[in-house]
Every structure is written in C-alpha cells, then in structure tokens.
Structure 1
Amino acid sequence: MAQTAVADGIRTGSQLDGSAEAAAVAAKAFVRIAEAWRLRGDDAANLLDVSGRTWNRMKAGGWSGRLSRDQMLRASGVVGLYKALHLYFSEPLADDWVRLPNAGPAFGNRSPLDAMIDGGLPAILSTRDHVDALRGGV
C-alpha cells in the first residue's frame, strides 16, 4: 500500500471540519493502516477512540457517521506516523514497528501501540514526533 495514497485523503486542514465526508475519508485511511499494521479490532477501535461496534462498521465499509475533532486528529496523527515509518524503515519493519516492544523513554519497554492507546491523542502525536526525530537524526 502506498503511504501517499493513504495519507492524501486527510492531509488538508479543511478535512478536520467534522463533516461526514471528511469522517468517511479519515475512517477509510485509518482502516487501511489498521490492516497494514495487522491490528486487532479492539486495538484499532481504542486507538481511534470508537466503540467496537462502530469499528466493525467502519471496517466493513458500512459506516456513515461523523468523527469528533479528537478522533479526526487521532486519524491524522496515525496517518502521519504511518507515512513517517515508511519513510524511515523498510518493509516489513515499517508496519511491524508499532507492535514491537520499545525501550525508548516514551514507551518503557511497551509497544508504541500500547503507549498510544493508553495515552490517547497526546501519545499518538508524541509517537509521531519520535519517529520524525529519528528521521531527522536526533
């Protein structure tokens, strides 16, 4: 899956407006990333902060709801993280990285996925910043 194809749908700021159209694009991108990362359903739902039932409808393509601003920002952060991982790591590490234990100070030997689920939006953005810093040689 080309990371730009996933990311293009929710890249623009106007896409965070909370409309049903923006939410559909964000949900589609998030589902593709969850599949690429081979996330369990409950992990994907928790990462996006939606119910398991809503996640199942999103995954099946039968969802037509709206996302809160927090959920849109979570989806956007995950898209940015996905793209950064694919710029920094080769396959399959780019997609496995989120599930691997990480000794970095932000993760404490937990997986970045667990840290992001536990920490919500701030942890998603922090994880994205961490990978961006790696890419920048920090």
Structure 2
Amino acid sequence: MKITAYKIAAMVFAALLISACSQKQGSSVKDMLKDHSQQEAVLTTLAENHELGKKYIQKMMDNDHATGMMVDELVRAASKDTILANKISGMITKYPDLMLLTTHHFMPVIASDSLMSDTFCDHTLEHEELAKAMHNKMEYKKSLERNH
C-alpha cells in the first residue's frame, strides 16, 4: 500500500512538474515581450543578426502599415540628417524607375508652391546640361506648335 501511495504521489508530482514546465514554455511571445528588457534583447538581436534582420525587414515590407511606418520614419529622419538624406537620394538615383516616379510625384507639389518653384528653377539652372536639355525640349515643342 505504501509503495502504491508513493507511486501515485510520484506520478502526481511528475504530472505537476510537466504541467508547470509546459505552461512556462507555452507562454506566448507577446507575453514575453511585455518585459522591456526582453524587447530590447529581441531588437538588438534583430539589428545585429544580418539574416534575422533581413527576414524582419521582409516581413515589414509585406505589411502595408509597417511599410508606411518605415517610410514615415525614414523621411522624418532624413529631413533632420543630411547624411541620411544623401544616402536616400543616392539610392533613388540608382534606380531610374524610382527616380522618375519620385520626380513625377513631386512636380505638382513644386508647382503649387512658388518658393519651391523658384528654388527648383534656380537649382535646375545650376546644372548646365539639364538647363540646355530643358531649353531644347521647349524650343522643339514651340516648333511643333508653329507647324500646326
């Protein structure tokens, strides 16, 4: 009888131990990340581990809300940091389709603001080849209008 009681007690203890362990392991990541130190540890790992960082960025890129947040933060930071602004500018010019899209998007904004228009014109005129190309294009369009 004593042996049976010991066996039952041991089985109950083992069941409680397994149950406690599984509950501890079963705690969700969300619960774990409520702890600020755990958040920092995860963020540091993501920032320092190239492969995990790339996976995280891809997850963010696949989510419209997250992509919007990234762009907002990047633009806000670039508006205060010329080094970052130059890096973004360099990346935009590296991809011609993105450059055209960006230019197309900002032309109406520039046109609606006289200060921006003046600044844009002054900046454009500083680049002789661009100014010549624009002048030639305007002259060509004028010649087409005269012929019709």
TM-score clears 0.5? no
Provide TM-score, normalisation by structure 2: 0.21
Larger Rg: 2
TM-score (norm. length: structure 1): 0.23
Higher helix share: 2
